[in-house]
């Protein structure tokens, strides 16, 4: 018993000695400003997550299922209810097996059809806004992970520290770890047989690639270029990357760039906000660092 406990005790002694060492404290002091910015971005990530709805359409199947009570009265109950349909979930469409399989073959068409995503300009704007919100959060989460790797490399701690005390290491370094992940909306087409003995489903995750595909399908159906509001580009990942490339990955407000700051978090922003009538035209889009974009809010920042 003592032999099993001893290695853990020795590790704890070595761990405490490392965190109290002059080398660790010196490194902690050297990168204090970098850690402080990491923590600011962690707080910013929480802000993005808290303000987002991260939902799009809903299914009407089962919307009134709460008005009835269901009971399985089969005398062979042990053979039934192996699979139970989710009637009350707004992101689940209960359907035939054929619809489940067709949704796998043409997910965008069936997502729009069965989750009430109509080909209308306001709806397209909602889809693009969702895509921008998710991209903003996704980039912030990725940026945090890159910064945490950089912090670890700056210290170069003993291997056993990262193996057994990784979280405690970050706490001693002053890093506030963010548990936030990107909450991609998911929509399901589900078939459950009457007896519950079989079930099949198709799941569509609204990640950046899927949202861009929905935007493109909606724009094709709307033919929005005929309208005044249509004199714009689709806010897709391709357009956001184009704007960053055009602006040389440099904040158009404070002029900080990826060249000066390799871990810089950059975002694409509407110069005239959408809430004030701004369109997603190339001329109305600019690259801002996260600090300038956070400060701007709904104010107008011109280049």
Task: Please tell me the predicted confidence (pLDDT) of residue 229.
Answer: 54
pLDDT tens over the chain, length 303 residues = 555 567 788 999 999 999 999 999 999 999 999 999 999 999 999 999 998 788 887 776 766 666 666 666 555 555 555 666 676 788 999 999 999 999 999 999 999 999 999 999 889 989 999 999 999 999 999 999 999 999 999 999 999 999 999 999 999 999 999 899 999 999 999 998 877 778 999 999 999 999 999 999 999 888 765 565 556 788 999 999 999 999 999 999 999 999 999 999 999 999 998 888 888 899 999 999 999 999 886 455 444
| pLDDT recorded at residue 86 | 72
Per-residue model confidence (pLDDT) at position 302 = 47
**Res 66: pLDDT:** 60
Question: Token pair of 99, please?
Answer: 């619809």
Question: Which pLDDT score, from 0 to 100, does residue 59 have?
Answer: 78
């Amino acid at each position: 018993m003592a032999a099993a406990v001893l290695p853990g005790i020795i590790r704890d002694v070595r761990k405490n000695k490392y965190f109290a060492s002059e080398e660790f404290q010196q490194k902690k002091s050297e990168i204090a400003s970098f850690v402080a910015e990491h923590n600011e971005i962690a707080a910013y990530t929480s802000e993005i997550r808290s303000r987002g709805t991260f939902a799009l359409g809903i299914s009407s199947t089962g919307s009134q299922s709460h008005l009835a009570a269901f009971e399985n009265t089969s005398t062979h109950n042990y053979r039934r209810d192996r699979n139970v349909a989710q009637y009350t979930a707004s992101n689940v469409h209960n359907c035939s097996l054929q619809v489940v399989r067709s949704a796998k073959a043409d997910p965008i068409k069936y997502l729009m059809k069965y989750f009430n995503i109509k080909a209308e300009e306001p709806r397209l704007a909602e889809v693009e806004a969702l895509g921008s919100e998710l991209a903003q959060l996704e980039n912030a989460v990725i940026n945090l992970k890159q910064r945490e790797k950089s912090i670890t490399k700056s210290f170069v701690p003993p291997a056993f520290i990262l193996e057994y005390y990784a979280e405690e290491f970050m706490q001693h370094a002053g890093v506030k770890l963010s548990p936030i992940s990107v909450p991609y909306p998911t929509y399901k087409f589900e078939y459950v047989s009457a007896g519950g003995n079989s079930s099949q489903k198709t799941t569509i995750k609204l990640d950046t690639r899927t949202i861009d595909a929905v935007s493109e399908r909606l724009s094709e159906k709307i033919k929005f270029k005929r309208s005044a509001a249509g004199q714009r580009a689709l806010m897709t990942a391709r357009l956001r990357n184009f704007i960053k490339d055009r602006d040389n990955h440099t904040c158009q407000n404070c002029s900080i760039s990826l060249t000066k700051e390799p871990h810089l978090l950059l975002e694409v922003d509407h110069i005239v906000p959408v809430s004030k009538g701004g369109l997603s035209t190339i001329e109305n889009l600019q690259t801002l660092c996260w600090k300038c974009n956070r400060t701007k809010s709904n104010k107008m920042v011109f280049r």
